[in-house]
Chain A
Amino acid sequence: MSDLKLQVNGKWVELDVPQSRYLAEVLRYDLGLTGTKIGCNESECGICSVLVNGTPVNSCIYPAFKAQGAAIITIEGLEQDGRLHPLQQAFLDHGAVQCGFCTPGLIMTAKALLDEKAAAKQPVTEHDIKVALKDTYCRCTGYQSVINAILQASGQDVKPYIPKTKAPCQTIGHALPNPDSLAKITGRAMYTDDFVFPGMLYARTKRAGVPHARIRHIETAEAAALPGVRAVLTHADVPGRQNHGLVTVDWPVLCSDKVRYAGDAVAVVAADSEEIAAAALELIKVDYETLPVVDDPIQAGQPDAPIVHEERPDGNLLKHIKVRKGDMAAGFAAADVVVERTYRTPMTEQMFLEPECSIGVPRGYDPTAFGGTIDPAAQRGVQYRHDKTTIYCGTQIPYLDREQTAAALNVPPEQVRIVAALMGGGFGGKEDIAAQIHVALLAERTGRPVKMLYTRAESLLFHPKRHATIIRIKTGAKRDGRLTAVEAELYGDGGAYASLSEKVMTRATTHASGPYDVPHVKVDCYAMYTNNTPCGAFRGFGVTQSCFAVESNMDLVARELGLDPIAFRRINALDVGGTTCTGQVMRESVGLQECIAGVEADMRAHHTALGEAFRWSWSEGRKHYAWGIGIGYKNTGLGGGAPDKASAIVETGVTDGQVWAEVRTSSAEMGQGLPAVLAACAAEELGLPYGQVRVLLGDTDHCPDGGPTTASRQTYVSGNAARHAARTLRARLQQVVADHFGQPVEQWSFADGQFSANGTRAGLVEAIEWAQASGQPTWEEYEYWAPKTQPLGTGGDMHVAFGFGAQAALVEVDDDTGAIKVLKIVGAHDVGRAINPLTLEGQIEGGIIMCLGNALTEHFINEQGQAWTDVMARYKMPSIKHTPEIISRIIEHQTADGPYGAKGIGELSSIPTTPAIVNAIANAVGVRFCSVPVDQDALLLAWKAGETECLCGWGYEH
């Protein structure tokens, strides 16, 4: 241990710490300044940025003793006398805070830029921002709001970018910051790794490292004997159900007889420190008999393929999914043009910036037994008693975590409690169990709190990703532009465990004829087990993949027909009265034609502003430019006959003469803006100012079940639950008021936060106080059930609603290098109703940029079942420098059952961008990529060789 002297946020501190510490560790773990986040530990994501003598550095990889004597500024040092720094205020105003995990890094990096420019008396430009923040990643926002916020903070008059929407109600329809944003911009927000419990142990997982092997023997004695190790657990220590799983319970908590992918968990260790736990892993010896590996979904279906789950009846077939509509022979016979192609999409990674972290706290835990006095959970403003096994974690499905953990522990679900901490992004990747069960087992075994924080490398290795697919699609159309038939065959790589493969690939299948009215459709999809990383939910849920294939084929058909790509789509686009490929007749809320028209108008406006006529493609010097279009749709809600419900509690009270309300549901916030939606719904119904509504999410002891946060469903189902709960509560308060005055309740009405009848008035304050005085509850729980849906294959309504979107991309391709730049995206999305245009626009822009990554940069590469993509540096998501200008239109074709007409937007915007970009590249240089991400190497070589199609995106074996 040595003396480290630092001036942190203006105060000198002296620490006696090992010289091996990194600066981020000193700040977070020694000084408790947890506003500085660690996203990758490899100097890649930039979110750990702090200022050392005014200069931003990645504190995760900066030796603390390198900073000896230096002045350090962290996010906690920005607020002055309770006043926000202009950057913090601007991030709030512009909605540049979503999950909030990267926010401190973005703000600190931006502060250095602002300081530097102010010192040089120079204005800050967008280019400056793109240079300064080039390697400070954000996975939620899409960066446009970040750029605008920084410009505003630099003193320029830049307003938040908010598209035009319907006239707002009292609260609904107003652009409002998320209620949790303030905590996120100041560094006070608590994510799981920010909690430190007295007596806490640190855990690590022994992972297989081999993709397919039989376990002969697991030897843990040496690890258990290492001083400081408190527990080493294997499958034999799981008292209850041995497997977990969201749909199929096939994923071992700890492997016993075989491992099926390299990330499989074989043992877990809890120790006094993370170092000891890591050292113990090295001492665990597993004797494997390696087995042949199957790493490709088509190969997985061959008779001689190695079998991943021997106990299953259909070999490696996880699910065969079928869509049948009409008569294929007739459909193709009627076609004048038939285009058939095979497309490939890669496995991709959610890359939420917060790696998975879970803390298990044992039943009966008493912090004072470990010399502790402070319950860190109290920092959330809630007092916790640990009278049951409690798990703090970031999760998209708290109640299913509870159920699965309880099953493994062999206790009733009520004896487990999940407390959702703030989540640094999820995007579908935090639906499956990560370490929740492991920390519960370790906590109960050791009698101490146990934290398991995955490294980025472990996170990449372990969690389910987006399915790689191979999609053959055959599209037939008549000379007049009418589609006659679509036939498709999809193979999806489900990886080693089922996760949500069945659901994801069902969505890929049912969306495989696109948002078009096609009379004859036949789709077969084969979700296959392999020894790759399991695949499951990732924003877009299968539709990202099929949309790329559908929309690429649409451009090819349009070319064959000699039709304009937009005109061709408008001829076929679904509208009210149309029928989807599953036989669902659209009765309402189909704004697709308007979306396409809006995008076309904005494409044309681009050229009009330049004083020229619209053109699809052109060249200037050694650069080639073109537009491309893609349209898409995405279901809202689970659909397919699944019970789709969410519960919420709305409680009201009066504190210091002011009414407050709180919405509670287990539904998850991962940066998409759910608290803002819930608060707005309650505020609207109760006539309360938005700022007087709090939201508590994800605590299974305090919040009723909102169901999974998936399928773009929470605005619809939890929003409805909150709305109905608030409305029911209001009705009760109205009864209380009527009773108070002895008048029939029918004579009373409610407006502007007041009850009134015949000139008599009563406010909410009185109503709540009278209710309390008369012993009536001032809270209401409402369980909202979405309209019933039909299973696939039975016709009727498979989904309660669909979001529709159209996007066009303007790209530039460099003649010399093949390098691709996306200059502009124009998008129009039918969201039903914009509940909060600020957070909605964040979802739209973030989805577009994420899908831009899908088109151009992202591929999680597996080779023979081993991840080549083993560090973040090998997986580039779009950075701020990739952010094009985004023009966004919001279309509002309300849906009858949605809250105020709203339907889902979480996934929609991240679906059509890929084909829009790839179609644009084809239009620019005449080379069509049938696989993504587009590889400039292959593009350039194909182009120079005069080839017109490539099935060889980056990262595939050529």
Chain B
Amino acid sequence: MAYWNDYYTPHTIEEAVEILGRYEGRACMIGGGTDLLLEIQQGHRPRMDALVDPTRIEGLDQIVEEDGWLVIGAGVTHTRIVNDPRMRQHGTCLVESCGVIGGPQVRNVATLAGNIAHALPAGDGTIGTLALGGEVQVAQASGLAWQPMEEIFIGPGQSTVDPKRMLIARIRFRPTGEHEGSAFRRVMRPQGIALPMIGMAARVRLAGEQITEVRIAIGPAAKVPLLAVKTMQALVGQTPSDKTFAAAAETALAEVQLRTSRHRASAAYREEMIRTQLPLTLAKAVERAHTGQAEPEGVGA
């Protein structure tokens, strides 16, 4: 069954955007395709005349350090992120989140850019990137522009990055440095649901015994990947402790919108998971900020 006709592997961003323009909405960007192709195949998305694969665009197939950012090209797979020593040390929660997507065969092909473009409220890599304060570089006919990642999400599966006209060319974040740490946790059920019951990530900076900066992402906890802003604000200036984290979980519960999703998770269970898992996530991030040790956990689980 032909789900597309032409398959392009352009060598420049301009060429990719030009092909999209030429097809006038009948072509679509494809990352690893591990979600996109299934959605087309299963009738959840229309079939395309052309697919545009950015993984061979020069420069987009690597992770580079640039002006104090860690920059991940659109062609970089989850496996590459998981195995990269810089990512493991300075973007631990992203490694942990990318390390639990699918199995190795999927991670060997699926890209982080594709995961973000998919815009699922609980996309693992998306949650990890969001907590790190990630930005995305969107390419379109008018050129390239960086924007904070949280600004692109509109609703479940929807973002301002229209894959028929644009692509996420790069993703970047400020690497965690001294007194900083990050962590990701998620809860999956073993039955036939490929999406997490809930996932969350945190990035923490300490000064002495005080939290000075913190970012927390949770999904699914809203129609878009949620940045738990109120919880973040409440934590700044606090001293890390079980009590602080328990209070943070209660604050988070006040700002999330938990739903019961059929066959996936009940709202009550998700509430309980924020209560038990968010403190553990924060504690792990703080521990890493303290020790500087950041060996990712749970990769491949």
A57-B105, A135-B105, A941-B266 known; A63 vs B51 contact (CB < 8 Å):
yes
Q: Is A66 an interface residue (CB 8 A)?
A: yes
Q: Is B293 on the interface with A (CB-CB < 8 A)? A: no
Q: Are A136 and B105 in contact (CB under 8 A)?
A: yes
- Asked if A257 is at the interface (CB within 8 A of a chain B CB), the reply is no
Q: A861-B263, A937-B266 are in contact. Are A46 and B103 (CB under 8 A)?
A: yes
Which one of B16-24, B189-197, B233-241 is at the A interface? B189-197
Which of B86-94, B140-148, B270-278 lies at the interface? B270-278
* B207 located at the interface, meaning its Cβ lies under 8 Å from any Cβ of chain A in the complex: no
* Chain B residue at minimum C-beta to C-beta distance from A127: B300
1/0 contact trace for B285-301 toward A, CB 8 Å? 00000000000000111
Nearest CB in chain A to that of B275: its residue: A816
Tell me whether A819 is interfacial, beta carbon within 8 Å. Answer: yes
Do the beta carbons of B42 and A135 come within 8 Å of each other?
no
Binding stretch for chain B, among A289-297, A441-449, A469-477, A866-874: A866-874
Q: Is the CB of A63 within 8 A of B7?
A: yes
Flag if B191 contacts A61 (CB, 8 Å): no
B106 touches A43 (CB 8 A): yes
A18→B5 CA distance, assembly (Å): 7
Complex: A875 Cα to B197 Cα, angstroms: 16
Q: Which residue of A lies closest to B189 (CB)?
A: A936
| With known contacts A43-B38, A61-B37, A63-B51, A49–B5 Cβ distance under 8 A | no
Of A56, A135, A937, the residue contacting B265 (CB under 8 A) is A937
Q: Which chain A residues (775-817) contact chain B, with CB distance < 8 Å?
A: 816-817
Indicate if B53 sits at the interface (CB-CB under 8 A). Answer: yes
Known: A19-B7, A66-B7, A941-B272. A859 touches B106 (CB 8 A): no
Q: How far is the CB of A816 from chain B (nearest CB, A)?
A: 4
**Contact A817 B187, beta carbon cutoff 8 Å:** yes
Interface check B46, CB cutoff 8 A: no
The interface residues of chain A lying within 8 Å CB-to-CB of B103 are: 46, 134-136
Chain A hits for B266, CB < 8 A: 937-938, 941
Quote the shortest CB–CB distance from A62 to chain B (angstroms).
7
Q: Per-residue 0/1 for A652-677: is the Cβ within 8 Å of any B Cβ (1 yes, 0 no)?
A: 00000000000000000000000000
Per the 8 Å Cβ criterion, residues 152-204 of B in contact with A are 187, 189-194, 197
Q: Does A109 contact B (CB under 8 A)?
A: yes
A101 to B24 Cα, complex, angstroms: 43
Q: Which residues from 32 to 65 on chain A have a C-beta closer than 8 Å to any C-beta of chain B?
A: 41-43, 46, 49, 55-58, 61-63, 65
Contact of B272 among A18, A871, A940 (CB under 8 A): A940
CB-nearest residue of chain A to B106:
A43
Contact B2 A20 (CB under 8 A): yes
Is B6 part of the contact surface with A, judged by Cβ < 8 Å? Answer: yes
Q: What 7 additional pairs, Cβ within 8 angstroms, besides A817-B273, A941-B269? A: A57-B109, A62-B109, A109-B104, A816-B273, A857-B191, A936-B189, A938-B266
Query: Inter-chain contact count A-B, CB under 8 Å?
Result: 138
With A20-B2, A134-B300, A817-B187 known to touch, is A874 a contact of B193 (CB < 8 Å)? yes
Instruction: Given A109-B105, A937-B266, verify A816-B189 contact (CB < 8 Å).
Output: no
Number of B residues, CB within 8 Å of A: 47
Instruction: With both chains docked as a complex, state the minimum distance between the C-beta of B267 and any C-beta of chain A, in angstroms.
Output: 10
Question: Please, which residues of chain A bring their CB within 8 A of the CB of B189?
Answer: 935-937, 954
8 nearest interchain CB pairs?
A135-B103, A131-B300, A20-B2, A816-B276, A874-B192, A65-B7, A937-B269, A19-B7
Query: Is the beta-carbon distance between B190 and A20 smaller than 8 angstroms?
Result: no
The residues of A that contact B1 with a CB separation of less than 8 Å are: 274-275, 278
**In the assembly, what is the distance between CA of A130 and CA of B299, in Å?**
11
Shortest CB–CB separation between residue B198 and chain A, in angstroms? Answer: 10
8 interchain pairs (CB within 8 A)?
A57-B109, A58-B109, A61-B38, A817-B273, A820-B190, A857-B192, A874-B193, A940-B269
Chain A residues whose CB sits within 8 angstroms of the CB of B2 once the complex forms: 18, 20, 275
Enumerate B50-94 residues with CB–CB distance to A below 8 Å.
51, 53, 55, 79
B257 close to A (CB within 8 Å)? no
Question: From residue A103, how far is it (CB to closest CB) to chain B in Å?
Answer: 16
Number of interface residues of A (CB under 8 A): 58
Contact with B along A849-878 (1 / 0, CB 8 A): 000000011110100000011010111100
User: Which chain A residues (620-643) contact chain B, with CB distance < 8 Å?
Assistant: none
CB-based nearest A residue for B99: A131
B37 to chain A: which residues have CB within 8 Å? 43, 61, 63
Q: Are B269 and A19 in contact (CB under 8 A)?
A: no
A873 contacts across to B, CB distance below 8 A: 192, 194
Whether the pair A875, B192 counts as a contact (CB closer than 8 A) is yes
B77 to chain A: closest residue by CB: A55
Residues of chain B contacted by A63 (CB below 8 angstroms) = 7, 30, 33, 37, 51, 53
| CB proximity of B29 to chain A, nearest CB, Å | 13
Distance between Cα atoms of A772 and B104 in the complex (Å) = 58
The reply on B210 being an interface residue by CB < 8 A is no
> Do B193 and A61 have beta carbons less than 8 Å apart?
no
Say yes or no for B12: interface residue by CB 8 A criterion. Answer: no
Do the beta carbons of B269 and A56 come within 8 Å of each other?
A: no
Q: Does A248 contact B (CB under 8 A)?
A: no
Q: Is the CB of B5 within 8 A of A20?
A: yes
A42 near B41: Cβ-Cβ < 8 Å? yes
- With A869-B192, A937-B266: A66-B9 Cβ-Cβ less than 8 Å: yes
A286 beta carbon closer than 8 Å to chain B = no
From B6, B41, B300, B301, give the contact of A19 (CB < 8 A). B6
Cβ of A933 under 8 Å from chain B: yes
- How far is A936 from B198 in the complex, measured between Cα atoms in Å? 13
Complex alpha-carbon distance, A856 and B272, angstroms = 21
Q: Are A134 and B104 in contact (CB under 8 A)?
A: yes
